Amino acid sequence: MKIKKKKKILITGVAGFIGFSLAKKIIELKKYDVIGIDNLNSYYIKKLKIKRLSLLKKQKLKFYKIDLIEKNKLYNLFKKHDFDIVFNLAAQAGVRYSFENPKSYTDSNIIGFINLIEVTRNFKIDKLIFASSSSIYGDQNPFPKTENSDVNPINLYSLSKLSNEQFAKSISKKLNTKMIGLRFFTIYGPWGRPDMMILKYLIAAYKKLSFPLFNNGDHYRDFTYIDDAINLCISLLNKKTRKKFEIFNICSSKPLHITKILKEIDKYSPKPLIINKPRDKADVYKTYGDNKKIRNFLGKKILLTSYKHGVKNTCDWFFRNKKIFT
């Protein structure tokens, strides 16, 4: 009897928040071979990345420490593994940091992304699914933002993401690999990013540090729970696409005022000392996406986690794992 070969998936940025969560879930499905790469940079506490990675290694993830900038290493990896699907989740994330260290954005998000696509074109890859960001929409009305809304990137991070989309779109006409860009909106949850608000607030409270609150918390974010985002990514794995290039919003479509989220966290954690700061020009006032396109594309009902449940799970996870942050 002929044994059907498992499809091979490469996940870049596998030690990061979304990459880790995706790899974990795909490995648990036991239907795919998962290979991960990451440069393990120290943009935020490395211990968290190492811990995520050690959990994945226990699940038998094959891991290589490779930077997207190292094109030859990427090429050799592709040659060795014959991937079917590539998820590009490696990037220099963060909006404010793009003013401090712009080069890390051009290296990882622009040159690194081009390297990945150039390598991909030498192999028979079915799909390249890559992370874009809600930040490319900028600030203007109207809301919610659909994938056809105008874009207005206001910092280097969002510019790098928009350039990824535009490059992928143009090159997809010449390649057989289907390209899918995912505009993630404020993903949060267990194993999340310590540079993002919810974990930053919990860490500040735990370490008795102050927490800078910009614009009195008068911002809205379309908080999207990690498991919901991962379920959508997994649904895209086997879904056939006719078009060579697609873009989808990955969002809950329920923007929440920052103060509402902080109040919810306060139910589970002591409060940090809050230091009010003026509005940071790098921040958009509101993010609010429309998720109809992906719902229609997948043709199924998408159940989304309530923010109360999501915040509780995140806090529970934090208090079980707080030693990572000491």
Ligand X SMILES: NC(=O)c1ccc[n+]([C@@H]2O[C@H](COP(=O)([O-])OP(=O)(O)OC[C@H]3O[C@@H](n4cnc5c(N)ncnc54)[C@H](O)[C@@H]3O)[C@@H](O)[C@H]2O)c1
CA atoms 249, 250, 253, 259: torsion sign = negative
Q: How far is CA 1 from the centre of its chain?
A: 40
Compute the least distance from the CB of residue 122 to ligand X, in Å: 19
Phi, then psi, of 124 in degrees rounded to 5? -95, 90
Residue 187: strand pairing partners: 224
Candidates 120, 133, 253, 287; binder of ligand X (CB under 6 A) is 133
Whether residue 144 has a cis bond before it, omega within 30° of 0: yes
**What distances in angstroms separate CA 111 from CA 61, 116, 234, 270, one per listed residue?**
26, 9, 27, 43
310 binds ligand X (CB under 6 A): no
Q: List binders of ligand X among 172-191 (CB under 6 A).
A: 184, 186-187
Listed residue (3, 310, 285, 291) closest to 147, CA to CA: 291
From the list 44, 157, 288, 307, the catalytic residue is 157
249 binds ligand X (CB under 6 A): no
18 binds ligand X (CB under 6 A): yes
Give 92 or 305: the residue with its C-beta nearer to ligand X: 92
Give 178 or 221: the residue with its C-beta nearer to ligand X: 221
Candidates 178, 193, 200, 286; binder of ligand X (CB under 6 A) is 193
Compute the least distance from the CB of residue 305 to ligand X, in Å: 15
Candidates 9, 10, 11, 15; binder of ligand X (CB under 6 A) is 15
Active site residue 97: no
Q: How far is CA 293 from the centre of its chain?
A: 19
Compute the least distance from the CB of residue 246 to ligand X, in Å: 17
Candidates 11, 87, 92, 144; binder of ligand X (CB under 6 A) is 92
Candidates 9, 10, 11, 13; binder of ligand X (CB under 6 A) is 13
Total number of residues binding ligand X (CB under 6 A)? 28
49 binds ligand X (CB under 6 A): yes
Candidates 9, 11, 19, 265; binder of ligand X (CB under 6 A) is 19
Compute the least distance from the CB of residue 295 to ligand X, in Å: 19
Candidates 9, 27, 91, 117; binder of ligand X (CB under 6 A) is 91
Binding positions for ligand X, rule: CB under 6 A = 12-13, 15-19, 38-41, 49, 67-69, 89-93, 108, 112, 131, 133, 184, 186-187, 193
Residues annotated catalytic, as ranges:
157
